[in-house]
Amino acid sequence: MTDYVNVKRVLSDAQKQRLANHTPSVVEQDGKLITTVEEINISGKGKKNNKLVSVKPKDEEAAVPFTQAEELFKDLVQVNAMLTNACNLSCSYCYEQHNKDFGRFTKESLKQVYDWLNARNNGQKKVFQFFGGEPLIHKPLIKEFMETYDEELRENYENYRGTYVSMCTNGLLLNDEFTEFYFGKPYTHMMISLDTFNSTIDHREITPTQMNKLRTVIKKAIDTVDDPMRVVVRATLSEETSRDMGNFIDELYGLGVRNMVVHPLVLDSKHGYISWKDENWQSMCSKIFNALEKYDDLFIKFSEGVGQKEDSNCLVGSHMVAIDASGDFSGCYFFTNQKSNGADIAVLGNVIQDKVYVDRYKTFQGAYKEMFETEEQCRTCNYQNACYQCPAGNLDTGTRLFRPDDMCQKIVKLYVDFQTDVSKKIFMRHVKKRAARLKELGPQIMSAELTFFREAFAGNVMGQDMFDHYVNTRNELQTPEEIMHEWLGVKDLRELYNELAKMYGYPEITFHPDSDIVKCYYIQCISTIIFRHEQDQINKTSLSTLLE
């Protein structure tokens, strides 16, 4: 039995209240930010009395230090730092409140959170993301943080083991000075949320004038960065906006955008659960495929969280958390943001106080597991390992954090097909580029790689004969997998990868290299291992060109 309420839902009083209160709380006038909400300090100097309001769990709820709960954070790769809940927009689908903050971050407390993220596990390429509300309300704080800790942020990024700094913003408060400052740092990315350029179908109520401003700021950002992949446009796609997607993507591409993230809107603060009409969903997918076909260098991905499952779902032990200035964190920014409106129960711990509310994790993990055990629809579902759950949206449209509904399998199936296809296209595009590069730079690269392999295997797997063979035939280059296969003297790419993996402590991979994509996957893994571990021994310049 499902308990969600679909598009025809009747709003409760609390929901009516939430929607009535959902108005912009910050406006920009003559270049200055003016707030209509007293508690929200936007001076940039911080409140005189910076009161940090954190959730107090019940006495009987266990709270342990992070060192005793590391397992829950083994997949953590991203922190969203909620600089404020205030916002200059009031997008109709957004669950956030914009009227109350729970304290103000300082550069020191931001650094504490940054360090906390880095310390959680040994994962690489983590994301420390400014979030909100609208994070650009606090430009001065962002600048102060980046200026003060620049050296460390840079070092961490350049060593390619650490964390990059990002922000998720509606972009309307960007100006040239900030853009130049922000992208002047090598470690920054920016995600600009924009669903369409057509104001008449927009759920975000962005005016035509504001749309023009966004065209300008996106262009400026692209013109400022050294690599357009550092600017991401994130589109939350509704049935309405997706109809115009073809034009939207064309225009973005014209502005220089090469990186997009999409999130189909299925849980909406105003309308509740949204069942997409089949034809709309299919049309949205084909518009994305068409764009990928049309633009060889355009990247489109699904947003974070979509397709995540198992023990890495929101609230269960997520790969991403949202933290506010009090140190409270939750699996989702909608919960951290709404903690004074009944969502306090979803706060999972406090970073500043070094506490993890482990009982809550257990409860949420239990509720999640229960769904798979008790729901007939889930028990027989083929998509158990890919289904996407949005606990905040689920609660808004029913009473349970995790539940199936009449659309979920359909949506997940489309998502999986779509995602597989998109990633395959993107991956194959990489591979084609790499193959072309190999053809072009082959002799130089292979010579460097083979020198390494000769040393690494010490004549065991390949020897002088192989190397001579390569030197003699370098002008007759074949496809990259043939080169690896034939010239490195291993049975197949899997064997080669696993030899290397054993040497350097990587997990074994057992897929059969029986299709192009799997072969190429192996080549990618092999090159990555070489790149990471043997930089001094091989020709770094030519390999890094290859790996671009």
Ligand X SMILES: C[S@@+](CC[C@H](N)C(=O)[O-])C[C@H]1O[C@@H](n2cnc3c(N)ncnc32)[C@H](O)[C@@H]1O
State CA 404 to chain mean position distance.
Answer: 24
With CB under 6 A as the contact rule, the residue among 103, 133, 327, 513 that binds ligand SF4 is 133
CB of 171 to ligand SF4, least distance (A): 9
368: amino acid identity, one letter? Y
449 makes contact with ligand SF4 (CB under 6 A): no
With CB under 6 A as the contact rule, the residue among 33, 109, 134, 268 that binds ligand SF4 is 134
What ranges in 397-539 are assigned the alpha helix state H?
A: 408-457, 464-473, 480-482, 493-504, 516-533
383 makes contact with ligand SF4 (CB under 6 A): yes
Instruction: Classify residue 436 by burial, with Cβ atoms within 10 Å: 0-12, 13-18, 19+.
Output: exposed
Q: Return left, alpha or beta for 82; rule: phi > 0 is left, psi -120 to 50 is alpha, else beta.
A: beta
With CB under 6 A as the contact rule, the residue among 57, 103, 132, 228 that binds ligand X is 132
* Site stretch for ligand X (CB under 6 A), options 259-267, 276-284, 351-359, 436-444: 259-267
456 binds, among ligand SF4, ligand X, none (CB under 5 to 8 A by kind): none
CB of 457 to ligand X, least distance (A): 49
Which residues are CB-neighbours of 310 under 8 A, at least 6 positions away?
A: 385
CB of 284 to ligand SF4, least distance (A): 19
The DSSP string of 105-171 is --HHHHHHHHHHHHHH-S-SSEEEEEESS-GGGGHHHHHHHHHHTHHHHHHHHHTTSSEEEEEEE-S
Which residues are CB-neighbours of 383 under 8 A, at least 6 positions away?
A: 409, 412, 413, 416
Calpha distance 521→485 (Å, rounded): 14
Tokens 């840079």, residue located: 154
169 binds, among ligand X, ligand SF4, none (CB under 5 to 8 A by kind): ligand X
169 makes contact with ligand X (CB under 6 A): yes
234 makes contact with ligand SF4 (CB under 6 A): no
CB of 236 to ligand X, least distance (A): 4
Beta strands in 217-370, from DSSP E residues, in sequence order: 231-237, 259-264, 267-268, 272-273, 299-302, 320-323, 328-330, 347-350, 355-356
Closest by Cα among 349, 387, 540 to 452 = 540
377 makes contact with ligand SF4 (CB under 6 A): yes
* Between 169 and 179, CB nearer to ligand X: 169
168 makes contact with ligand X (CB under 6 A): yes
Three-state DSSP class for 35?
A: strand
Contact 210, 201 (CB under 8 A): no
* Between 347 and 448, CB nearer to ligand X: 347
Determine the size of the site formed for ligand X (CB under 6 A): 20
Closest by Cα among 487, 386, 499 to 442 = 487
485 makes contact with ligand SF4 (CB under 6 A): no
With CB under 6 A as the contact rule, the residue among 78, 80, 170, 313 that binds ligand SF4 is 170
* Between 93 and 181, CB nearer to ligand X: 93
418 CB neighbour count, 10 Å cutoff? 20
91 makes contact with ligand SF4 (CB under 6 A): yes
Sheet of 190-193: strands edge to edge? 299-302, 259-264, 231-237, 190-193, 163-169, 126-131, 78-82, 320-323, 328-330, 347-350, 355-356
Contact 115, 108 (CB under 8 A): no
With CB under 6 A as the contact rule, the residue among 94, 146, 206, 316 that binds ligand SF4 is 94
Binders of ligand X in range 208-237 (CB under 6 A): 234, 236
Binders of ligand X in range 323-362 (CB under 6 A): none
Contact 25, 86 (CB under 8 A): yes
87 makes contact with ligand SF4 (CB under 6 A): yes
With CB under 6 A as the contact rule, the residue among 381, 426, 441, 529 that binds ligand SF4 is 381
408 binds, among ligand X, ligand SF4, none (CB under 5 to 8 A by kind): ligand SF4
Calpha distance 493→297 (Å, rounded): 28
131 binds, among ligand X, ligand SF4, none (CB under 5 to 8 A by kind): ligand X
39 binds, among ligand X, ligand SF4, none (CB under 5 to 8 A by kind): none
499 binds, among ligand X, ligand SF4, none (CB under 5 to 8 A by kind): none
Calpha distance 326→234 (Å, rounded): 28
Token pair for 347: 């706060």
Calpha distance 228→3 (Å, rounded): 44
CB of 320 to ligand X, least distance (A): 12
193 makes contact with ligand X (CB under 6 A): yes
* Between 329 and 470, CB nearer to ligand SF4: 329
Distances (CA, A) of 518 to 322, 481, 528: 36, 10, 15
Q: Return left, alpha or beta for 380; rule: phi > 0 is left, psi -120 to 50 is alpha, else beta.
A: alpha
15 makes contact with ligand SF4 (CB under 6 A): no
Binding mask 68-107 for ligand X (x = CB under 6 A): -------------------x---x-xxxx-----------
With CB under 6 A as the contact rule, the residue among 74, 107, 143, 263 that binds ligand X is 263
404 makes contact with ligand SF4 (CB under 6 A): yes
* Site stretch for ligand X (CB under 6 A), options 34-42, 127-135, 474-482, 517-525: 127-135
265 binds, among ligand X, ligand SF4, none (CB under 5 to 8 A by kind): ligand X
- φ/ψ (deg, to 5) at 169: -140, 155
* Site stretch for ligand SF4 (CB under 6 A), options 130-138, 322-330, 514-522, 535-543: 130-138
Residues making contact with ligand SF4 (CB under 6 A):
87, 89-91, 94, 96, 132-134, 170, 204, 375, 377-378, 381, 383-384, 387, 404, 408-409, 412
Positions that interact with ligand X (CB under 6 A): 87, 91, 93-96, 131-132, 134, 168-170, 193, 234, 236, 263, 265, 267-269
